[in-house]
Structure 1
Amino acid sequence: MAAHADRQPVLLTLSQEAANAATVRFVADGADLPALAGVERLVLMFDGHDQDQLEAARAQWKRLKSDGHELTYWQQTEDRRWQKKA
C-alpha cells in the first residue's frame, strides 16, 4: 500500500501500521492506540454517552498524558459545534 500512498489521502484500515505513511491517525470506538512513531497528530473519537468507550478514552488520555504528549479535549455541544474543554 505504501507504493500508492499519494493516491490514498484517507485510508481506512484495521491495521496498527500507517500503510500510507500517514502522519495523522484517527482511532475510533476504543480501538487500541497505534505506535506513535512518525505521528504528528492523533485523534481519538468516542461516544461520550457509551460508558465503556468513555472509560477507554479516559485510560488512553491518562496513558498519553503520562507519556508526555500535549493533549486537548473537544466536546460536541447541543448545537453540534465543537468546544475545547481541556
Structure 2
Amino acid sequence: MAEIGFYHLTRTGADQALPQLLGRTLAAGQRAMVLCGSEERVAALDTALWLCPDPDWLPHGTPASGHAGLQPIWITHLDAGADGAANGARFLFLLDGAESARLDLFDRVFDLFDGADETAVQAARRRWVAARDGGHALAYWQQTARGWEKKA
C-alpha cells in the first residue's frame, strides 16, 4: 500500500508549491510522476518548471518531448500502466483533482489540492475516504506561513 499525503494549498498554487516538493524528491534520489488533469495543464506545468527559479533545475519530460525512461520527472495526463509509471517513478504527484487507479504501484503519493476551491476540498475529502478504505497510510499536510505542517 502507498503512503498518501494530502497537501492542502492555502498560501500558493500548485505551480509554486510543486517545485519545492519535486526538488526534495530528486534530492532523495527518487523519480516522480506528475499526473495532471489535462494535456493543457501538462504543457503549462512543463513551461513553469523550466522557468522555476528555486530549485533552478528540475529535469523533466512530457509525452510531447518523449523519452520517459530518461526523465527523473515525468509530467502526464495519462495514468500509470500495469507496469507503473513510464519513467519508473515510485513517487506520484496528483494535481487538479487527477486520480490514479494504480496507487498501489507507488511508494508515496502527494495529492495537492486548492484550499480556496470548495469543490476541490470536497473532492479531496472523498479521495481521503477512498484511500483510507483502500488500506493506504494517510497523512494530511497544510500549507502555513512557516511551510508545511502535518495536521493528521
TM-score tier by shorter-chain length is: 0.7 to 0.9
| Structure 2 partner of 1:12 | 75
In the alignment, structure 2 segments of 5+ residues that lack a partner are 1-62
Post-superposition shift, 1:19? 1.1
| Structure 2 partner of 1:67 | 134
- What root-mean-square deviation, in Å, do the aligned CA atoms of Structure 1 and Structure 2 show? 1.7
Post-superposition shift, 1:80? 4.8
Cα gap change, 1:67/1:80 in structure 2, threshold over 3 Å: closer, same or farther?
same
More helix by share: 2
Q: Which has the higher contact order (CA 8 A, sep 6+)?
A: 2
Kindly indicate whether residue 91 of structure 2 is the aligned counterpart of residue 24 of structure 1. yes
Q: Measure the CA separation in 2 of the matches of 1:83 and 1:69.
A: 20
Percent identical pairs in the alignment equals 41
More strand by share: 2
Task: State how many pairs are aligned.
Answer: 83
| Structure 2 partner of 1:81 | 147
In the alignment, structure 1 segments of 5+ residues that lack a partner are none
Q: Measure the CA separation in 2 of the matches of 1:23 and 1:39.
A: 5
Q: Which amino acid aligns with 2:148?
A: W
Query: 3-state SS of the aligned residue for 1:37?
Result: helix
Cα gap change, 1:80/1:29 in structure 2, threshold over 3 Å: closer, same or farther?
farther
Query: 3-state SS of the aligned residue for 1:71?
Result: strand
TM-score computed with the length of structure 1 as normaliser: 0.86
TM-score computed with the length of structure 2 as normaliser: 0.51
